[in-house]
A = this chain, B = another copy of it.
Amino acid sequence: MPYQCSKEEREFLDKYDASKYERPSVTTDIAVFTLNELNKLSILLIKRGQFPYKDKWALPGGFIHTGKESIDDCAKRELKEETGIEDAFFNQLYTFGDLNRDPRTTVISVSYMVLIPKHKLKVHAGDDAQDAEIFEISYDVSGMVFSNGDITIREKDLAFDHADVIRMAIKRLRNRIDYEDDAFNLLKDKDEFMISELKKIHETIKNKSLDLPNFRKSFIRDYVNTKKVIELDKTIVSKGKPAKLYKFIGDDFYE
């Protein structure tokens, strides 16, 4: 809807020159989480092809197209450009705006968290002449360590303040897993999953093993009984007793 205002105000707006105030650059940084084959928490990092921090690993993201997109859309566009991901769970995290966090100029960065199952994350290696890789996150005395078999990166070697962003994202994810439906976004297939798959996701994120009978009980109470999840008339068999399959519905609210 167009902004309604008086003639006097309209004149003010027409004369308004935004360029008279110095403005900061604004970027988005996106922490894309997934679980790897071993069910370990992993994150997508991109090797920078440009200065600053050339050849360093960083979170995907980039400058906002001012006036052409919202910050949310900027994050979505950057993610699509760099990884091809179009529809994934998005959540704004925090805005980093310390002085000198970017050596070029004042850069304010709005960070986002994305959750996606690994098979949907087709990393476009070589796109934009950039390396993009998924790294398993582990810890040692120096802090977070990112490794993918070939490469090992320590948090202090990441570009910008991206270690801070990742730390905050993991913390938020760990908190949210208990009261939001985030775990479902990491399922291979939300429309057909076993309780044990969901349990593994919770175990990975919380970094502790859970009791299956108890997990099942709260799952039934919180999701099946509330119709957020429906039980399918279907089972899947791999080893041991076949498992019931469930389909995630959600409550169709966007936050």
Q: Please list the residues of chain A having a beta carbon within 8 angstroms of any beta carbon in chain B.
A: 3, 5, 8-9, 12-13, 16, 18, 21-26, 51-52, 54, 63-64, 66-72, 74, 92, 94-95, 97-100, 103-106, 108, 110
Contacts and interface: CB of A to CB of B under 8 A. Distances in A.
Contacts of A103: 3, 5, 13
Copies in the complex: 2
Given A18-B25, A26-B26, A51 B100 contact: no
Nearest to A22: B66
Contacts of A108: 26, 64, 71, 108, 110
The interface centre, meaning the residue of A5, A9, A18, A98 with most chain B CB atoms within 10 A of its CB, is A18
A13 B51 contact: yes
A212 B13 CA distance: 55
A138 B103 CA distance: 46
A52 B12 contact: yes
- A interface, over-half SS: loop
Contact of A24 (B22, B26, B51, B105): B26
A63 B92 CA distance: 22
24 contacts: A3-B52, A3-B103, A5-B52, A5-B103, A8-B51, A9-B51, A12-B51, A12-B52, A13-B52, A13-B103, A16-B105, A18-B25, A18-B105, A22-B67, A23-B25, A24-B26, A24-B66, A26-B97, A64-B97, A67-B105, A68-B99, A69-B99, A70-B97, A70-B98
A66 B13 contact: no
A105 B105 CA distance: 21
B99 A67 contact: yes
B24 A100 contact: no
